[in-house]
Structure 1
Amino acid sequence: MDQTAYFAQMREKRKTEILISARKMFLTEGIAAFNIQQLARNLDISTVTLYKYFKNSDDILKALQKQILQDLQTDSFSDTIPAGKDSLDSLQQLLETFYTEILKRKEDLSLLLLSEWYLPSKEAKTASILLPYINKLEPAFFSTLQQAQTEHLLKTNFDISDSLHFFQQMNLTMLEHIALIKKTQYAKKKKELLQQIHQLISSYILSIKK
């Protein structure tokens, strides 16, 4: 490895260390209480060194936001449609598997939602920053609904486009609810949350079933 490549590798390593430490601080102390000087102390580096990587706390937050969304793009947790007894059973399993995985990403959801509220925006926000999670699931969801319609399992007046819109809003509301649960309360509320999710999914399936 030549010297240029070595220094580039070390710079990326240091940048990763900064983001890991900053992420922990944001989630533990909150974005408003975040302090660059404390971050530097936690990393045992000078603030001058830290500023060589990030201009300010907003810059760090944007980097974390970008990192989470990029990781989501390469994640395949919603690509496979479960083999159920019929398409509606597959749909229920798909949604429950989706939320099982989503709950593992609770910290990512919290950080994204907080960053959306905190970071200044020059343009009006037209969609929730959590929408990419729904978009990841949408192809499998749409395909399963189409199959259920082909199998004549859905109500006669069922409209897939309307259902997709309702599905999107329902899931965004649930994702925001998960994101807003305090870290200190999450372990205690997880079981109750799983029950709520199961009831929500079951009610949705029942509402579209013939």
Structure 2
Amino acid sequence: MKVTWKEQLEQHRNKRREDIIQTAKELFLEHGLSTVTLKDIVGACGISKVTLYKYFNSLDEIIFEVQFEILSAWLERYNQTALQGNSGYEKLQFLLEQILVSKDNTDTIRFIAMFDMRYLEEYPTPELESRFRSFLRRGPHPFLSLLQEGVADGSIRRDIDVKAIGYTISNVVNATKQRMLLRGKLLHLDQDVDPAIVLEHTVNMILAYVKS
């Protein structure tokens, strides 16, 4: 089927938009969110500010798009992972070990850490706040899903608040991995404890709490 002019234009626009996001992501990871400017991004992309504003209204919009992409990639990776285990508890154990042991997503952890630091108390606009919340709630959280499965099959305690515990696990896992991955070398020297041992104990404590 012949591609129409409008389809070619749309493809070009989508590619240009994605190029801006990817270029910005590289700059953010190299220099940090507080340092990179729109001028830096247009310079690295080889476009004008006028062209950039056809796609994004602000630096914050670009930062949020990078965050959406990073979180989407993580969720896609989770969805493609064949969780091993015969119960919700065993699958949760497998997922926790996969997340905390893996060291191949340092850039993801670094960017999420920078995003959290930039938006400590509020989001820049109501529109971005609404989009971000909608993104986070567009599907079931993996920890919540596995906890619900475990409660149903009897492998996980029935007296827990699944939503509260699920997000507690999510925050504990993210914060611990962030600290161990980004500052692990210094923490090892400061505390004389191998970061890998800390991550292992984190998994064990979570599992001990939720086990039926």
C-alpha distance in structure 2 between counterparts of 1:44 and 1:143, whole Å: 50
Q: Which residue of 1 aligns with 2:160?
A: 161
1:134-145 alignment to 2 at 5 Å?
Answer: 135-145=141-151
Q: Which residue of 1 aligns with 2:37?
A: 35
Which residue identity is paired with 1:174? V
Aligned 8 A contact 1:58 1:119 in 2: no
Q: In the TM superposition, what whole-angstrom CA distance separates every residue of 1:143-175 from its partner, at most 9, and x where no partner exists?
A: 1344344xxxx7xxx544246523421431331
Aligned 8 A contact 1:134 1:172 in 2: no
Matched, 1:25 2:10: no
Identity of aligned residues (%): 17
Which ranges in structure 1 are unaligned for 5 or more consecutive residues? none
Aligned 8 A contact 1:40 1:47 in 2: yes
Question: What's the offset of the Cα at 1:193?
Answer: 4.1
CA RMSD in angstroms comes to 4.0
Matched, 1:9 2:8: no
Aligned 8 A contact 1:83 1:90 in 2: yes
C-alpha distance in structure 1 between counterparts of 2:75 and 2:161, whole Å: 26
User: Residues 96, 8 of structure 1: CA spacing in aligned structure 2 closer, same or farther, 3 A cutoff?
Assistant: same
Aligned 8 A contact 1:113 1:179 in 2: no
Which ranges in structure 2 are unaligned for 5 or more consecutive residues? none
Q: Secondary structure at the match of 1:83?
A: coil
Which residue identity is paired with 1:11? R
1:104-183 alignment to 2 at 5 Å?
Answer: 104=105, 105-107=108-110, 109-110=112-113, 112-114=115-117, 116-117=119-120, 119-122=123-126, 135-149=141-155, 158-162=157-161, 165-179=164-178
Q: Which residue of 2 aligns with 1:206?
A: 208
C-alpha distance in structure 2 between counterparts of 1:18 and 1:186, whole Å: 32
User: Residues 57, 146 of structure 1: CA spacing in aligned structure 2 closer, same or farther, 3 A cutoff?
Assistant: same
User: Residues 116, 110 of structure 1: CA spacing in aligned structure 2 closer, same or farther, 3 A cutoff?
Assistant: same
User: Residues 178, 119 of structure 1: CA spacing in aligned structure 2 closer, same or farther, 3 A cutoff?
Assistant: farther
User: Residues 51, 25 of structure 1: CA spacing in aligned structure 2 closer, same or farther, 3 A cutoff?
Assistant: same
Question: What's the offset of the Cα at 1:94?
Answer: 3.2
The total of aligned residue pairs comes to 198
Q: Secondary structure at the match of 1:6?
A: helix
Q: Displaced runs of 4+ in structure 1, greater than 6 A?
A: 128-134, 186-191
1:68-87 alignment to 2 at 5 Å?
Answer: 68-71=70-73, 74-77=76-79, 80-83=82-85
Which residue identity is paired with 1:95? L
Q: Please give the TM-score of this superposition, normalised by the length of structure 2.
A: 0.68
Q: Please give the TM-score of this superposition, normalised by the length of structure 1.
A: 0.69
Question: What's the offset of the Cα at 1:134?
Answer: 8.3
Question: What's the offset of the Cα at 1:55?
Answer: 1.7
C-alpha distance in structure 2 between counterparts of 1:187 and 1:17, whole Å: 34
